[in-house]
Structure 1
Amino acid sequence: MTDCTEPSTPSTSSTLYIHPRREPFEHGLIPIPKLIFTDGVQTLGPLKDKLIQRSTQSPNRRVDLLAVSEILQISPDHARLVIDTLSTVLDTNSDPLVAAELSEVDSVDVDVCDLVLFLYIQSYKRLLPRTHKDSASVADVWPSTSAFDGYLSALSPLQFVRSNSRRFIPSQADEEAHQLSYLQKHLANILSLLADSVEEEGEGEGEESLVLTMEKLDHLEFLIYFGEKGSERIPLSLATPFFANTDPDMPAAPVPATQVLDWLLQNITSTLENISERVSAKENGLPSVSDQDVPMGDSCGSLMKASATARGPCFIEGISKSSYLKQASDLHGSSVKVVNCHDSVIYILAPLRYATIYGCSDATIVLGAVGKAVRVEHCERVHVITAAKRICIANCRECAFFLGVNQRPLIVGDNHKLQVAPYNTFYSHLEEHMNQVGIQATINRWDDPVPLGVVDPHDSLSHPAGVSDVQAECATCLDPDQFTNFLIPNWFEGESSGSTKDNPFPLPDAYMSSQRRNNNNLGEIKQNLRETQLEDSRKRELASALHVYFKDWLYASGNIRQLYCLQGD
């Protein structure tokens, strides 16, 4: 039985716990060495002052792309990447940067506070997967050699995830605790970057102290929030005791930063203790109401499980040698993680905000419309088909990406033999889903990837020393003669119909010409077969030969996976 579970960390009481926002840590890290400041405020403090000096003189100080490029001493292309990425992980649609059309992003200024927080967390290092103790089970699941084995050895995520055991993959609770611990360690520095200096009155004249206004505190919502299962997130300034009863017509008095720091650290400690208690209870086999699963059905009739929660992505995990479908009505959230899936075809035909594909092999994964970001990491021989605002590909081998993307694909880390191609499929509700999440079919940057260095400084599984400046291997464009349309079965025809009748992304001329040529060749072959006069014995030999070649093609191309949903349980 396959399992689609959604790990969550809700409280077991009415207490509201503080939580890190996953999106900046999962989709907002850019491996550009000049942006990674490990000395806290020593470098970022002066940079913030320079940004403020260049900012517009408005209540919310903002800077343009040129200022970001010059002050951070990065190229205009990298400055554009910073602003694009920041807009992807901001949590508010009211910010002009988030609301801007793609053609307007270069001309929209970025908020200095948001930018400084974004730059600060570039020092975050992802959680190290747990060591696998059973090498025999790993070998059984993944017998072939891997390009990653030379430097990752037994620590390769390709081996962790292929253990078919959740015990060796960081759970959502593990990741949340890791992110909270990082914030706990750095919160004093982060608040000092947001705070304003004021001169103290009294005996110590000339001394300055740091205070936080309600507006500055709300910027912390980029990193943390209050809210629990099934509830709306509470604005940070309302969750704190400092500004909760503020008169909206009267400006709230600033609060000493030390008081805010103490209060936030208390809340982080309480959340970490709560996570530890629940993880311990689960490991001891104690039931938890929040972890109960709700059965759901997939396209092939197998029983799936998913827990409905307002927080955390839906996990689709451990699918092997099967076909799997999820539609919008099946998902209880706007984020999906596809983990540890092999030799399968997975359809997620829904409007999403974020999607992650991790540790999969020999699979075809179709993502509907992803309005914020897709991340594909540590995968081998996987075909990914997606319409998305942006995609980041990290540490993958022999994968093909059929893309309808509005921003340039980002190629990060140590990749081998990647191919990119134009988007090649559709389903009836595709254009409706694209409109919901803001993807434009008239803009497709599939063939303009941005390669960064082979070392991802955010990855705990780092490479050996000496390769930090090596240029990453970029993706090549798929030969137009090898381009084919991917057919998505219409399982629910009659139940729900959409307006999409064809691929909404226009094909480049070379791919369109190849497609027409292939169709013409197929028509000629069919005509020749119909007109050929053969004896019955010869017809049987021809049919047998065609059957053999077709079977070989199914396996060689990976299209055999699409037949799994026709198999009985």
Structure 2
Amino acid sequence: MDQSGVLLWVKAEPFLVGALQEPPPSKFSLHYLRKIATYVRTRATEGAYPHLYWPTWRHIACGKLQLAKDLAWLYFEMFDNLSVRTPEERLEWSEILSNCATEEEVEKQRSQLYVDTLQFLLFLYIQQLNRISLRTSLIGEEWPSRRSRPQSPSPAERPSCHNKNWNDYSHQAFVCNHLSELLELLLDPEQLTASFHSTHSSLLSRDAVTALSFLIEGTVSRAKKVYPLHQLALWQPLHVASGFSKSSKTFSLYKLEAWLRASLTTNPFGPSACLKSGKKLAWAHQVEGSTKRAKIACNAHMAPRLHRIVVMSQVYKQTLAKSSETLVGAHVRAHRCSESFIYLLSPLRSMTIEKCRNSTFVLGPVETTLHLHDCENLKVIAVCHRLSISSTTSCTFHIMTPSRPLILSGNQTVTFAPFHTHYPMLEDHMARTGLATVPNYWDNPMVVCKEGSVTSLFRLLPPSEFYIFVIPFEMEGDTAEIPGGLPSAYQKALAQREESIHIWQKTVKEARLTKEQRKQFQALVENKFYEWLVSTGHRQQLDSLVPTPAAS
């Protein structure tokens, strides 16, 4: 088997869920990351290298980079969430945190956490993916200011948004354009010049190439098995090409970089490949009289389990409900959906909702990040590890999450509320994704991009406006109530409303209406109920629950 059969590509997940969809702190520039790379190697005995412990990163981030402690923890925890951990380990960590009574106890537990130092440096560097560049701004790709927009434009009027996190061509271009800098970050200090640059004779350690596997993987002769970069680079037939020396057990940086550039290709399991050659799914039907045609595709038939992607677009005026093996562990993207009710009741790896309007999303547990961008008038109901939102208007989030929801730039009229539904397999799906009911920070969002008054950005749903959400489908499973229950104020509001209903029923019963009066009264109530269904949009939801031949 010759080396020409080796294909390398940039992994999608670090960019899909690892790159925060917000311009990074200015101190994450290459200049400062080079300083950090040198600093951690000189503090190997102080919890900095080869593993970076939280207290050391907190010292670097807060003391040297002048970041807020919450922001330092955000990036540390985001990277930690990308690491391979069993659901049991994640549940155990949640239990430990839930038993902490004070912030000091939480910090004590966090102090035991560590990440791979070199991979974490790469993670910090790829935050530059969403950096706003004045240079590109001048040629029209970006503009370094908040995009102004009308109050309620139609979807057709919205300008298109280039989502780099979901564009594998952007991932590949980013790594190729910055490959030299990425490799220099991984070099030992003695391999660098005084100005932190590499030379033609610089050597990379095996640990450095192993760290680069965080971003790059590949295969041999288009086989289905996917290998991390370091395994391919250490493969005997590739030693000459990859620059590996058996005697020194190091790689020639010059040869390795040349081999990487020659071998890198488009991710065969990325979003672009899914759209181009993925399996089309008939999960949604064409609405009569509409020019919109729903497009749903997945790569589950050809992608390894950890590379599954589902993309859905233009679901319009219908109810889409699925609990499918295709969704399990998949990265899912919903794009330009409107006036619909979408139920994805399976454990998901990540969920991105973009440019959607006037819809309700009910999701199974999301193992990593649930992100919304450029959405309007949505209700989102989910258990997720993290929620992040940008450029949303009038959206309500009923969530259960062990991390603080992230409010990025451009949001207006955001409402947070407690998770308020269940379906029979919910607790089983939560266990599979390592998500517990506590701790739950649904009501404690973190404003990452401050644009004026924090209090005007969001509100907590008043208990008087709170109602339980019922999922209208029968499924097998054991969950019969909302996991973890409801906050006391909301439970009390429900009890008071239920008491009002009992009083009303008693009043009607004691009115001693005649048969004709009861008939008239029933007709009046039904008419009012029908008017309410129409005015609230619930009539459409009920109608769309009736299956049509095209949707079967």
1:366-413 C-alpha deviation (Å, 9 max, x unpaired): 111111111111111100000111111111111110011111111111
Task: State the match for 2:122 in structure 1.
Answer: 117
SS in 1 for 2:213: helix
Is 1:293 equivalent to 2:286 in the alignment?
Answer: no
Deviation, structure 1 residue 88: 2.4
Task: State the match for 2:187 in structure 1.
Answer: 195
SS in 2 for 1:222: coil
Task: State the match for 1:386 in structure 2.
Answer: 382
Query: Mapping of 1:75-474 within 5 angstroms?
Result: 75-90=68-83, 92-93=84-85, 101-102=93-94, 103=97, 104-125=109-130, 151-152=148-149, 159=155, 175-197=167-189, 209-227=201-219, 231-240=224-233, 253-268=249-264, 270-271=265-266, 290-293=277-280, 295=282, 306-309=297-300, 310=303, 311-331=307-327, 333-453=329-449, 473-474=456-457
Is 1:74 equivalent to 2:63 in the alignment?
Answer: no
- Percent of aligned pairs with the same residue? 23
C-alpha change, 1:171 and 1:26, in structure 2 (3 Å) is closer
Q: Which moved more, 1:259-268 or 1:230-239?
A: 230-239
1:335-356 C-alpha deviation (Å, 9 max, x unpaired): 2112111111111111112111
Equivalent pair of 2:294/2:312 in contact (CA under 8 Å): no
Partners of 1:235 and 1:502 in 2: CA distance:
42
Query: Mapping of 1:494-509 within 5 angstroms?
Result: 497-509=476-488
Partners of 1:100 and 1:230 in 2: CA distance:
37
Partners of 2:505 and 2:236 in 1: CA distance:
75
Is 1:61 equivalent to 2:51 in the alignment?
Answer: yes
SS in 1 for 2:358: coil
Equivalent pair of 2:296/2:311 in contact (CA under 8 Å): no
Task: State the match for 2:462 in structure 1.
Answer: 479
SS in 2 for 1:381: strand
1:129-156 C-alpha deviation (Å, 9 max, x unpaired): xxxxxxxxxxxxxxxxxxx9972579x9
Task: State the match for 1:20 in structure 2.
Answer: 10
Equivalent pair of 2:14/2:215 in contact (CA under 8 Å): yes
C-alpha change, 1:158 and 1:50, in structure 2 (3 Å) is farther
Deviation, structure 1 residue 295: 4.8
Equivalent pair of 1:161/1:359 in contact (CA under 8 Å): no
TM-score normalised over the length of structure 1? 0.75
Deviation, structure 1 residue 499: 1.4
Deviation, structure 1 residue 43: 2.4
Equivalent pair of 2:358/2:378 in contact (CA under 8 Å): yes
Amino acid at match of 2:50: N
Deviation, structure 1 residue 414: 1.3
Deviation, structure 1 residue 108: 0.8
Partners of 2:161 and 2:22 in 1: CA distance:
27
SS in 2 for 1:17: strand
C-alpha change, 1:223 and 1:37, in structure 2 (3 Å) is farther
Partners of 1:444 and 1:174 in 2: CA distance:
28
1:478-529 C-alpha deviation (Å, 9 max, x unpaired): 000111110012334xxxx211110002311111100111111122222323
C-alpha change, 1:481 and 1:62, in structure 2 (3 Å) is same
Partners of 1:513 and 1:50 in 2: CA distance:
54
Partners of 1:29 and 1:274 in 2: CA distance:
19
Equivalent pair of 1:400/1:421 in contact (CA under 8 Å): yes
Amino acid at match of 1:491: E
C-alpha change, 1:24 and 1:98, in structure 2 (3 Å) is farther
Deviation, structure 1 residue 232: 3.8
Partners of 1:55 and 1:97 in 2: CA distance:
27
Partners of 2:343 and 2:237 in 1: CA distance:
45
Q: What number of residue pairs does the alignment pair up? A: 492
Equivalent pair of 1:390/1:407 in contact (CA under 8 Å): yes
Deviation, structure 1 residue 320: 1.3
Structure 1 residues not aligned, in runs of 5+: 1-13, 129-147, 201-206, 283-287, 455-466
SS in 1 for 2:377: coil
Deviation, structure 1 residue 365: 0.3
Partners of 2:21 and 2:44 in 1: CA distance:
26
Task: State the match for 2:513 in structure 1.
Answer: 534
Q: Which moved more, 1:67-76 or 1:528-537?
A: 528-537
Amino acid at match of 1:50: Y
Partners of 1:123 and 1:544 in 2: CA distance:
62
TM-score normalised over the length of structure 2? 0.77
SS in 1 for 2:428: helix
Partners of 2:76 and 2:118 in 1: CA distance:
13
SS in 1 for 2:122: helix
Equivalent pair of 1:52/1:112 in contact (CA under 8 Å): no
1:432-460 C-alpha deviation (Å, 9 max, x unpaired): 00001110113211000001215xxxxxx
Amino acid at match of 1:426: H
Amino acid at match of 2:500: N
Task: State the match for 1:510 in structure 2.
Answer: 489
The CA RMSD over aligned residues, in Å, is 4.1
Amino acid at match of 1:505: G
SS in 1 for 2:227: coil
Greater relative contact order (Cα < 8 A, sep 6+): 1
Equivalent pair of 2:294/2:314 in contact (CA under 8 Å): no
C-alpha change, 1:150 and 1:252, in structure 2 (3 Å) is closer
Amino acid at match of 2:51: R
C-alpha change, 1:329 and 1:74, in structure 2 (3 Å) is same
1:89-118 C-alpha deviation (Å, 9 max, x unpaired): 34x339x99897143445312332122112
SS in 2 for 1:366: strand
C-alpha change, 1:296 and 1:551, in structure 2 (3 Å) is closer
Partners of 2:148 and 2:204 in 1: CA distance:
46
C-alpha change, 1:353 and 1:244, in structure 2 (3 Å) is farther
Partners of 1:172 and 1:188 in 2: CA distance:
21
Partners of 2:131 and 2:191 in 1: CA distance:
39
